[in-house]
Amino acid sequence: MRVTNLHLHRSLLSFMTIVAILTSCGDRSASNGAEAPLAVRSYAILMDSLTAIAAEAPGEVGIAVVVDGEDTVTVNNDDKYPLMSVFKLHQAVALCHELEGQGSTIDTVLDIDRAELAPDTWSPMLRDCTETRFALSARRMMEYTLMQSDNNASNLMFRRLVSVARTDSFIATVIPRDGFAIAVSEAGMQRDHDLSYANHSSPLSTAMLLERLFNDSILSSGDRDFVCSALRQCRTGVDRISAPLVGEQGVAIAHKTGSGYTNDCGELMAHNDAAYITLPDGRHYSLVVFVKDFSGNEQQASMLISKVSDITYRFLMRR
């Protein structure tokens, strides 16, 4: 398995600019032959471990780890991984901003006709709301998308509250434009599975969005607290990043998963998890693992992501 684009960064400014690459897989010492700083040499151990996992996987694996908004380890950090439902994080952030700009709130209520919803897609909302017509707030619909990855709720909010294009444009003001693209809704991907590749991101780009959401003022405090709380209550993909952390005292996990269709080669197009994790001592880290074109099953892909999470957590707890 080819492994490219491996870097170990220390960002001394905001995530809008990664100011220095201190080491890479091919050169971990300074140009004058001096030994690399202790912190860099330490993180190189983590990078080597994650690189080995990616190299052995029957598919493409991209990883980003950002510790305390500063130290950054990436493996295969190309902007080519289908986001799948991870893009519902981007959607929620953009929607909150859109409503704030309109002088409205996430408690805005929509009247919904059941006939405008797709009966053949993943939708706990459709299961719960059995009436022909019903009303839900944007807040409740985002709970469905962030906590249960509801496709109908996502499609509805794109159609009636903030478009795919406006979502893409706003997120490009939060994180660098060259690291992601949001171009299609769940409805579009359901019609043509190949369109799943049109919503793509590098692992670091999504990690940067998590970092900015949890630590910067890109939304009002109330909206930010709501989105962060919903991510902490995510019920999907519990066998991925969160699996090795369950039961660990004082560890808080917020995450958004994404799962893909099967391509013409019988491979999983995508199997993803993006998490913001707080440790008992107050430190935090973002961990994003994207798996693309994986020639195994979902359980195997989840085990790979869980292994990355376990290694990262154990490494940081030893520091």
Catalytic residue set = 85
Q: Which of 225, 232, 162, 176 is nearest to 205 (CA)?
A: 176
Distance from C-alpha of 190 to C-alpha of 281, rounded to nearest angstrom:
43
- Name the β-bridge partners of 7: 24, 74
Quote the distance between the C-alpha of residue 13 and its chain's center. Answer: 22
- Say which residue the tokens 């405008």 belong to: 116
Count of Cβ atoms closer than 10 Å to residue 55 Cβ: 13
Burial class (CB in 10 A: 0-12, 13-18, 19+), 235: exposed
Strand, helix or coil for residue 121: coil
Distance from C-alpha of 46 to C-alpha of 291, rounded to nearest angstrom:
19
